[in-house]
Amino acid sequence: MGTTASTAQQTVATATFENVHGNGTMEDRTSLSIHSFQTVGLHNNKAKSIITNKVAPVVITYNCKEEFQIHDDLLKASYTVGRITESTPEHYLVQGKYFMVRDVYSKLDVLNTTSTCGAPNFRQAKGGYSVFGMGQPSFSGFKQVLQKLQNDGHKVCTWTSVIQMHLFVREAAVPTESPNLLLLQDPSRPPPALLFSCQTGVGRTNLAMVLGILVLYHHKGGLQKLDLPQSTKFLPRDRFRVIQNFIGTVPKGQQIVEEVDAAISLCSEMHDLKEAIYECKKKLEGIGDDYQIQGNSAKEYFLQRTLQSLGRYFCLVAFNYYLHEQYPLAFALSFSRWMCRHPELYRLQASTNLSELTITGEQLTKDERFSPDVLSTVKEMSVANFRRVPKMPVYGMAQPNSKAIGSVLSYLTDAKRKYSHILWVNLREEVVLEGNEQIYTLREPGNLEQQIAVPVTSPEQLEVRALYLEQEKQMKMFKTCLTMQEVFNQHKSSCQGLAYKRIPIPDFCAPKEKDFDQLLEAMKNALAEDSNTAFVFNCHSGRGRTTTAMVIAVLTLWHFNGIPEITEDEIVSVPDAKYTKGEFEVVMKVVQLLPEGHQMKKQVDMALDIVSETMTPMHYHLREIIICSYRQGKTAKEEKDLQTLQLRSLQYLERYIYLILFNAYMHLEKKDSWQRPFSTWMHEVAARAGVYEILNCLGFAEFEDLEDKPLTRLRYRWQEQNRSSSLFQGEFI
């Protein structure tokens, strides 16, 4: 439908939902409104012409059957025209870029219910639940649906349209965190019939029907078990990794998932959400890399379809968990606020895109070519970017080989330093091997800049993957081939006090809550054995992850040995001075929540400054890089660079906030010797104080409006940091 350009104002009468089932007066009102709409524009003396030779009539909604465009001055209006296909007439576009087309056609009605029930694909869920679904009905069809429900004995009906197409908003892949369902609290009253609709009555409607069944199940008190309907059509399958992790993380996780599975089966007449996941997974794993759909990668298409369906499934599981906790509490928290109290669910949701990689020796690439020696330490220490925090036993570097490890150990145990105990922490997420005394890692042959992070549930699994590669036939070209664990085991014979830990943390991002736990626990154990232990950290380049771990180590040692006095801030007269000091609005919100929050921040700033002194040639400061990345993103010319820098600036900002939170935890839990882990403290203390709600609206509010920016949200930001630009390979898990 093109916009009506007549100067006449057109009005349409509308009715509330309660009036739809009235005594006939609504029909009179409807007739009047149609007549008014049709005549007021055409009979106005300002209308110039009705163009019928260039504009095709189209079916539209809101009581009108057909409309032809009316223009005051066609030549001056500068309207945009277009055609849907080459064989169709040109039509004037709504807002210059949209066609208005017929929404529902007969082929969509698979169940053939339009004539008998009033709407396409009208159906009721199994199991006796008063949950109904349908496609988009017409006005008269909707009255027919309501009449049918009334005839079937339903006195109250709640209708929810789950179409997200208002104002041309695109369909969402998964439901938002605020499902607008009727949350029933009085089990003595009979529940209303829950009626859901979308365009076709399939995908979105099916999702809403499952939500409705879960709500009604809890309304009944959850006394009777949601039984799975008997079906021999599909064989039982292993659960996806994200669901396995949910079951292992959440109390009653197994029961929560089984209830969702039962609810899905009760709504499977038109669409089975779980089977949709497995069908897409089967196609994803079976299709070749060179296949295309409409010019795009077929593998990528089926990967996105799999992730969308799995994301919806996980949202249903999370929502049922919410009902278990909040129904007895009369919904003290909305779903969105409750999600912010359970950040572990966001962590799980971000890990849905996992594949059991089919890795081969052909993907191994020399590692050092991607980690330039900015600090010029290879000549002396045999490793790039070696450095020490002034007056502290904290060291950092890039990935070393066996020779470099020997050089560093000799340096730390010499007559000057005399360290008898050394804790060495490898922070890499990637598989690392040493072949012929050189370091190799996995990289895509066509994208060498992209490291392949291997999804594992424990650091030990990284070593297992490395062992698998070591034993592969293609590796026989190496005279020697060792995993990093084997390399360090060799050095333990000459350095009895050496302890090696693998604590993989994500690049660019804040360490996860459990990463802080592991780092602190490793340091506590080392200091308990020897208070003069040296701490050595390495990642790939010795920059981002290594620097973050060094700051955590500095803060930890200060809490053990005493925090130095904070020097007064120098008055700095440079552009963005306020922001190079980390004084962003969102940071200050967190600071205000914390006891002595300004002190917590200043101590972190002091640790950042001390660590950054060791790496001046790198021009890398964990705090200052936040505003630098943001400014670079605003001036980026390529869309890919712009998106990457936007994400990086938010990740760096989040990392800075996590360091402040960790320092606050160290202060507040010191009296109990940090028996409560940081991850538990974040869940039990920080989350209840509203920290994750702040992180769920993370951005640069002082510079821009944060509305409609998905990366400001935890869900999207954490998912994006796990996204790989590599082609999918292996088995989806």
Report angle CA 106, 108, 112 to the nearest 5 degrees: 70
Give the other-Cβ count within 10 Å of 689's Cβ. 12
Residue type at position 716: Y
- Residue closest to 325 by CA, chosen among 339, 308, 314: 339
Where residue 27 falls among pLDDT bands split at 50, 70, 90? Answer: very low
b/e per residue 241-264 (b: at least 16 CB within 10 A): bbbebbbeebeebebbbbbbbbbb
Architecture of the domain whose range is 355-562: Alpha-Beta Complex (3.90)
Chosen CATH of 106-353 out of 3.30.1490, 3.30.70, 2.40.50, 3.90.190: 3.90.190
C-alpha–C-alpha distance, residues 609 and 605, integer Å: 6
> Crossing angle of helices 484-492/459-470, nearest 10°?
100
Q: Where are any strands of DSSP class E within 378-505? A: 387-388, 394-397, 422-426, 432-435, 438-444, 447-451, 481-483, 498-502
Predicted local confidence at residue 656, as pLDDT: 98
Predicted local confidence at residue 79, as pLDDT: 75
Higher-confidence residue of 474 and 54: namely: 474
- Both tokens assigned to 620: 């890398």
Contact 673, 666 (CB under 8 A): no
The pLDDT tens digits for 190-212 are: 788 999 999 899 989 999 999 99
490: enclosing H helix or E strand: helix 484-492
Residue 355 DSSP symbol:
E
- Both tokens assigned to 603: 């101590």
- Residue closest to 28 by CA, chosen among 50, 42, 13: 13
Question: Is 49 a residue whose pLDDT tops 50?
Answer: no
- Which of 133-147, 213-227, 480-494, 695-709 is predicted least confidently? 213-227
Coil, strand, or helix at residue 326? helix
C-alpha–C-alpha distance, residues 664 and 555, integer Å: 10
Question: Is 593 a residue whose pLDDT tops 70?
Answer: yes
The pLDDT tens digits for 602-652 are: 999 999 999 988 777 676 788 989 999 999 999 999 999 999 999 999 999
- H helical segments located in 575-713: 577-580, 585-593, 597-612, 624-635, 639-668, 678-681, 687-689, 691-695
Across the range 22-36, mean pLDDT stands at 36
The pLDDT tens digits for 383-411 are: 999 999 999 999 999 999 999 999 999 99
pTM of the model: 0.82
Predicted local confidence at residue 224, as pLDDT: 65
- H helical segments located in 327-400: 335-341, 343-349, 378-381
Residue 338, CA atoms < 13 Å, CB-side half-sphere: 20
C-alpha–C-alpha distance, residues 548 and 621, integer Å: 10
So where are the chain's domains?
17-92, 106-353, 355-562, 567-702
C-alpha–C-alpha distance, residues 321 and 325, integer Å: 6
Considering the chain, what percentage of its residues have pLDDT values greater than 90? 54
Q: Which residues contact 325 (CB under 8 A, 6 or more apart)?
A: 338
124: enclosing H helix or E strand: strand 123-124
